[in-house]
Structure 1
Amino acid sequence: MAQLHIGEAFAMLGEYRQCEQALSSAETAFGKMRPDDVAADVFSPAQFGRLAGSCYLFLGHPERAESLLAGTVGLLHDRQKTRSLVLGNLALSYIRQRQLDAAGPTLHRAIDLLEQSRGGGGMSVVFGAARELYPWRDTAAVQDVHDRLLGLMVRA
């Protein structure tokens, strides 16, 4: 897990090569885990995709983020707060690729979860994604997302 967070820090700094090295180290370490490993209780198969997807968003590679995040969403059925965060990042990857038809429904799914869980990380990511929809603010789909977010804040 530490290597994943190191990778994310390097991604935030725009250090592509160092980020890739940390992600590779994390993937290798996860591959060596055994059921009797001391850290097995804190490991989840979704962790790599969630953080690596975030890394690629920071590095400006939304297409790589999309493939990781889309595969991760299905692994998070029992973790609503984390799932809302991953859906928010997945929506960001769609927005940055100008795939608004995919971004809108993905944001709505994230908002559905936020209405139940009020997950702080997911809330920040979803509102950040909504800000990136500004160039399309006059479309009905974007206005629907903004209306849902206003409703979410009213109920907070």
Structure 2
Amino acid sequence: MIALNSAQIRSSFVNATKGDATRAELPDLSAVRWEAIDYLGWQDARRPQLHYVVLEVDGEPVGLMLRGTGRPPSRKMLCAWCEDVVDGVRAASFVAPLAGASGRRGNTIGTAICADFRCSRNARRAPAAFELRTKDPELLAYHRDQRIAGLQERSAGFARAVLRG
């Protein structure tokens, strides 16, 4: 992912008001390893029901404001973005207001994402034995690249759905 500063992040939000974007509590951007992530996701420390995701869609940063359920998931769910089944971290339900007039009328779209936004790490982990039984470095690299590409495609698809309103 391209490195972003706080002004770029705040201006990238497509489904939040300018006030919401200004009030968003940003993570420590100096600690972010931009080359190792496919999106930046975090929970607002001051308003824990709000979560944010910034990702690249067609080479441009797109920021999404998400609302969480506010409680831990009661059962395991598959993350819709990384589709990881090994790590054991639970996915959580999130809803995003749609962009534009539709979102201002209260329309939303939902998904399940890793509760701690660790999808990039999940996509880059070594495959479990039941996923891929090989030690061939080229095949392992191909598997990792396919998982990363899938994460990028599915997360960008969700962002596009928000943008379509």
Question: TM tier, shorter chain?
Answer: under 0.3
More strand as a share of residues: 2
Q: Which has the higher helix share?
A: 1
Q: TM-score, normalised by structure 1?
A: 0.26
